[in-house]
Structure 1
Amino acid sequence: MPRIGAIVLAAGLSRRMGEAKQFLPLQGKPLFRHSVERAIANDLSPVLLVGGERTEELRRLTSDLPEVEVLDNREYATGMASSLRVGIAAASGRVDAVLVFLADQPYVPDEVVQALIRTYEDSRAEGTKIVRAFYAGIAGHPVLFDAALMEELCLVTGDQGGKDVIVKYKTHMKTVSFDTASWNLDVDTPDDYRRIQEIDPRLHQK
């Protein structure tokens, strides 16, 4: 069985929200905890949580989760890619693949995580390097990257995360499709936050 870890990106500046969205309460816990707990529930290891300006607060709010390693991205203001680089560097040499989660996408269910892992396990011998979820036809997270791509992922820049690597290796990518668009919702604005609070949480427990 391949060793698969998780990277949860939680260092964003939340400019459109006006406050640190990863700490907003949702279903009785900070927003970022939903992604972290999905990683733990699916036995991913290590679980690497990448913070920025408020890394110490992330540590405090995960002190009850010994599985979680909180990493400090001092270059968080340069964009998502810097957090991805920090997580990839910490995972390098420890895993065969990583699943990259977003801290502001709380409704990804176990069903998605398990489907991505199964697809990777079934096709890695054929050369699959990336497995990506699509929700009602829209690309989303988490995204699985094979360890063979880590060197290139450590070179990404800007606010696009691993997008360039995904494009480069699209012929080595498998996609897994789901019909539930709400699983792909993220929280960027106050309107997003209001809308996501109205969703029945049982929808992401299928």
Structure 2
Amino acid sequence: MHKIGAIILAAGMSKRMGEPKLLLSIHGKPLFLYVLGPVVESSLDPIILVAGKYIEEIQQHTMDFLEIQIIFNQNYAAGMSTSLKLGIQSIKEQVDAVIIFLADQPLVSRTVIQSLMENYEASRKEGIRIVRPEYQGELGHPVLMDAELFNEFHTIEGDSGGHSIIKKYKHVMKIVSFDNPMWGADVDTPDDFMKMKQYFDSKPNEE
């Protein structure tokens, strides 16, 4: 078994939302907290959460999550790439692979996480270095990336995230399909948030 860690990206500026979206409440809980449960339950280690402007609020809400290491990205305004670089730098010597999560994806499923891990274990000998989910045909997050690709993160800039790396190495990427599009839904706008709240109201017990 390979050692797989997690990076949770939680340093965004929420420009399209107009307020700190990760702290918006759904059923009495900040949106980003819904991501942490499935990550912790999936036995990923270490778990690095990269925070920015709202690190103090995030720390207050995560005091019970002793498994999670929170690090501050002082360059958060320069885009997602700075958080990815910081996360990779913090984890690269400890793992064989990492799963990269978006903190604004509250319905991320443990089923997806376990499937990414299992497909990586089964396919790495065949040369697979990236495992990515698709939800009803649309590629999404979280994304598993092998440690062999970590040096590539030095080249990314702005808010592009790891898209350029994924594009470059798509020949060693395995795609895993899921039927529930909400598992991959993120929250960027007020409309997204309203739709997410409506979904939670209709299926309050869904993990």
Give yes or no for TM over 0.5. yes
Shift of 1:88: 0.6
Query: Whole-Å Cα distance in 2 between the matches of residues 28 and 126 of structure 1?
Result: 45
Shift of 1:21: 0.5
Gaps of 5+ in 1: none
1:201/1:169 CA distance change after superposition, 3 Å: farther
**What residue is the counterpart of 1:129 in the other structure?**
129
Shift of 1:26: 1.8
Q: State TM-score, norm by structure 1.
A: 0.96
- Note the 1:39-50 alignment, pairs <5 A: 39-50=39-50
- Note the 1:80-119 alignment, pairs <5 A: 80-119=80-119
Indicate yes or no: 2:23 matched with 1:32: no
Secondary structure of residue in 2 paired with 1:154: helix
**What residue is the counterpart of 1:172 in the other structure?**
172
The amino acid that maps onto 2:127 is G
Query: Whole-Å Cα distance in 1 between the matches of residues 110 and 67 of structure 2?
Result: 18
Query: Whole-Å Cα distance in 2 between the matches of residues 96 and 5 of structure 1?
Result: 8
Kindly indicate whether the alpha-carbon contact (under 8 Å) linking 1:36 and 1:47 is maintained by their aligned counterparts in 2. Answer: no
Query: Whole-Å Cα distance in 2 between the matches of residues 88 and 107 of structure 1?
Result: 24
Once the two structures are superposed, residues 127-170 of structure 1 have per-residue CA deviations (whole angstroms, 9 ceiling, x without a partner) of: 11100000011111000000111111233111010000000000
Percent of residue pairs identical: 48
Query: What RMSD in Å do the two structures reach over aligned CA positions?
Result: 1.0
Kindly indicate whether the alpha-carbon contact (under 8 Å) linking 1:89 and 1:154 is maintained by their aligned counterparts in 2. Answer: no
The amino acid that maps onto 1:158 is G
The amino acid that maps onto 2:119 is T
Moved over 6 A (4+): none
The amino acid that maps onto 1:150 is F
**What residue is the counterpart of 1:159 in the other structure?**
159
Range that drifts further, 55-64 or 143-152:
55-64
Q: State TM-score, norm by structure 2.
A: 0.95
Indicate yes or no: 2:13 matched with 1:9: no
Shift of 1:125: 1.2
